[in-house]
Amino acid sequence: MTKHILETLQQRRLSNRKSFAVLIDPDKISDTGSLVKLINIAVENKVDFFLVGGSLLTGSNMRQIIQLIKDHSQLPVILFPGSNLHVDVTADAILFLSLISGRNPELLIGQQVIAAPIVKRSNLEVLATGYILINADNQTTVSYMSNTVPIPADKYSVAVCTAMAGEMLGLKLIYMDAGSGAKFPISPKMIAAVRKSIDIPLIVGGGIDSVTKAIASLKAGADMLVIGNGIEKNPNLLIEVSDAVNSLNQTLDIH
């Protein structure tokens, strides 16, 4: 697969086109049958990407999951690693994350130094991403595992300045995450404030468990949505959100 994911996201950002990624948490895959079903629904509904990963992985089925996605679709598989142990060179791309909302040097640069030679030797497209955690009401696995304090949900200027600094440091994407299974998604007000302050694509995820919340995030300015838990609980959400993304994109074709 050619390395064009970043370029695609940048071009879509320019024309205000939205993207949708389904997050597969390898630990939550109990049987391949339901995963294949989900992959087929994703293909039929024109999902853009699969993200694979999580902040804590206890199993060793990552490679099989990537293979299964590749066997049943041509959708790009992007790694969403919680640590350098989660790098798998059989994926198409990697969110090469620096947790810029935190002050934990291991996740700002330490893990990346260890992963660098493996990623360099691979054929993975490297997506340099400023990862920003926003506080949800509950403590999420990612905030606990990362040993960092997420940005408070109402501190818009902290999120804005963090995203701006990430862009100025040369990162190519910003991923604002309330954390998997967050009680509340990131507020539209915060998404809008951050989106206005940067020129690079903005990925938003965490706690989006309804099409209403998805549309609110998209309209506020998310360039790409990531949904995991919501789809695990209700696979129809995938279809509803895909429809919403596709119809928002179609309105651009009409104008």
CB of 3 to ligand 1GP, least distance (A): 23
Q: What count of other Cβ atoms lies within 10 Å of the Cβ of residue 106? A: 16
The contact mask relative to ligand 1GP for 120-159 (x = CB under 6 A, - = no) is ----------------------------------------
One-letter amino acid at 51 equals L
Judge whether 208 and 217 are in contact, CB under 8 Å.
yes
Distance between CA atoms of 206 and 186, rounded to whole angstroms? 7
Sole window of 115-123, 174-182, 190-198, 214-222 interacting with ligand 1GP (rule: CB under 6 A): 174-182
Among residues 5, 22, 23, 124, which is the contact residue for ligand 1GP, using CB under 6 A? 23
Radius of gyration of the chain (CA): 17
166 lies in the site for ligand 1GP, by CB under 6 A: no
229 lies in the site for ligand 1GP, by CB under 6 A: yes
177 lies in the site for ligand 1GP, by CB under 6 A: yes
CB of 229 to ligand 1GP, least distance (A): 4
For residue 169, which phi and psi values (nearest 5 degrees)? -75, -5
Judge whether 233 and 209 are in contact, CB under 8 Å.
yes
The total number of residues written for the chain in this structure:
255
76 lies in the site for ligand 1GP, by CB under 6 A: no
Total residues at interface with ligand 1GP (CB under 6 A): 15
Sequence-separated (6 or more) residues with CB below 8 Å from residue 4: 125
Token pair for 103: 């002050």
CB of 224 to ligand 1GP, least distance (A): 11
CB of 163 to ligand 1GP, least distance (A): 16
Which 3 state secondary structure label does DSSP give 145?
A: helix
Sole window of 85-93, 127-135, 189-197, 224-232 interacting with ligand 1GP (rule: CB under 6 A): 224-232
